[in-house]
Structure 1
Amino acid sequence: MSSRQLTVRIHGALNDFVAPERRGQAFTHVLQGSPSVKDLIESLGPPHPEVDVVLVDGEPVGFAHRAEEGTSIDVYPASDPSAPQVARVGPPIPEMPRFILDVGLGRLSGFLRMLGFDTLWRNDSADDQLARLSHDEERVLLTRDLGVLKRSEVVLGYFPRETDPAHQLVEVVRRYGLTSRMRPFSRCIACNAPLSTATPEEVQGRVPEGVTQRHSRFQQCPGCQRVFWPGTHHERMQNLVETLRKLEAANP
């Protein structure tokens, strides 16, 4: 009995998830049962939140479409210039993205909050909780755990390729076009609450001795009561913001 086969080609950044010998070229896949194209794609590696366009024999289909013997499937990621302008399975990027991050991305969460983005992170979040909150609150799930990203309830999500948090930040800023949406230093990097301005008198006794004599501009967090002022750390973060803006200008 001959095997039931179809042809698949994975495009662009989705090749990061497939076997090296299959990257950037069409390959034959043996069908097992009658899977949806979503299940077929994820069995080959790519997580569905990173898929934007699926073509079967050149026609756009949704994730629920059943894979059939003898067909040809093309799978494109978001922001791929080679993707045809057709109906997409991927959701549009929210006007002001909000994020939720897994336990291994704590430093990235601080960077995103520093840029002003509503970012949830805890060091004890369970996988099912991450997936549920991502779905219920329409948050982008950032995780390096493919199992979490492939959960059916996750709609918005991304797998940072880099391991260095600063490089991960560049990835996420580019993926979601965040440069024009940044509101640096408007959110607490520790607890995510929006910051409010404060006078030296209001923060007296809550900052190291002499700080109120050297600085006149302060921000305070109504959540965790932390106080922030433009010191050396602020300067480093400002340099990072400017670097991100320059990268965006160089890669429109």
Structure 2
Amino acid sequence: MSARQLTVRFHGALNDFVAPERRGQAFTHVLQGSPSVKDLIESLGPPHPEVDVVLVDGEPVGFGQRAEADTRVDVYPALEPSTPAVAPEARVGPPRPEMPRFILDVGLGRLSGFLRMLGFDTLWSNDAADDQLARVSHDEARVLLTRDLGVLKRSEVVHGYFPRSSEPADQLVEVVRRYGLTSRMRPFSRCLACNGPLSTATPEEVQGRVPEGVAQRHRNFQQCPSCKRVFWPGTHHERMQNLVDTLRKLETANP
């Protein structure tokens, strides 16, 4: 009996997850059983949250479609010029959230701090289990950011992204670009430690909670009602402001 085969091609950024010899070109794959299109795609590398359009012999299909022999499957990512324009209901990828909220895995602590610094609701803890990350992402409609493909491929995850870089500052640029965050940034409005919204505070309100020299040099403070931490525009604030300014330039560089 001859092998049951089909042809597959991944497009754009999805090639980051594909074996080097298969990147940017169509290749033959031998079918095992009768997998869904979603299972076929993930068995070859890319996680489903990064897929936006799937074409079988040129026609859009859903993730539940069964893969069949002697067909061609083209898989496209979101937000790339190469991705075909199809009706919204024909896309397998969800619409980009209007105001994204995030949940990050344990390895992305510094990225979580950057996102909070920009004002985005970002959950992170250093002991969150994989099933908890996936469940909260689904139940609270949060974007799951992780460099663990196993977590991203969990079926309950709808919105998710795998940062390509291992450097937190570069990861931040990736996320800002992917989710169009530049115009939505509200810098220094969230607590870097606990994610709570900050409120303004007078020097009198923070008396005894900041170093004496800081109290003498500064008049503008913010405090977190949840964890009681106090923030002021010091040297660290200046470095973060420079990062914010750099990110704002992305809006004009990438309209």
TMscore range, shorter length: over 0.9
Q: Deviation string for 1:175-216 (max 9, x for gaps)?
A: 101001100000001000000000010001000012122111
Residue equivalent to 1:16:
16
**Structure 2 counterpart of 1:49:** 49
State how far apart, in whole Å, the 2-side matches of 1:105 and 1:121 are.
8
| Paired position in structure 2 for 1:59 | 59
**Is it true that 1:127 corresponds to 2:130 in the alignment?**
yes
Q: Report the residue type matching 1:206 in the other structure.
A: R
Q: Trace 1:103-182 onto structure 2 (pairs within 5 A).
A: 103-182=106-185
Give me the whole-angstrom Cα distance separating, in 2, the residues matched to 1:66 and 1:56. 10
CA distance in 2: counterparts of 1:169 and 1:202, whole angstroms:
34
Secondary structure of the structure 2 residue equivalent to 1:185? coil
In the superposition, the TM-score normalised over structure 1's length comes to: 0.99
Q: Aligned residue for 2:206?
A: 203
Q: Distance in 2 between matches of 1:16 and 1:248?
A: 25
User: What residue number does 2:191 align with?
Assistant: 188
Q: CA contact under 8 A between 2:182 and 2:250: conserved in structure 1?
A: no
Q: Which amino acid in structure 1 is aligned with residue 48 of structure 2?
A: H
Gaps of 5+ in 1: none
Aligned to 2:233: 230
Q: Structure 1 stretches (4+) deviating beyond 3 angstroms?
A: none
Provide the aligned length of Structure 1 versus Structure 2: 252
Indicate the percent of aligned positions where both proteins have the same amino acid: 88
Instruction: Decide whether the 8 Å contact of 2:60 with 2:91 is kept in 1.
Output: yes
Cα displacement (A) at 1:5: 0.5
> 2-side partners of 1:174 and 1:222: how far apart?
31
TM-score, normalized by length of structure 2? 0.98
Deviation at 1:248, TM superposition (A): 2.6
> Cα deviations across residues 100-140 of structure 1 (Å, max 9, x unaligned)?
00000000000000000000000000000000000000000
Q: Which stretches in structure 2 are left out of the alignment for 5+ residues?
A: none
For residues 92 and 174 of structure 2, what CA distance do their matches in structure 1 show? Answer: 22
SS in 2 for 1:7: strand
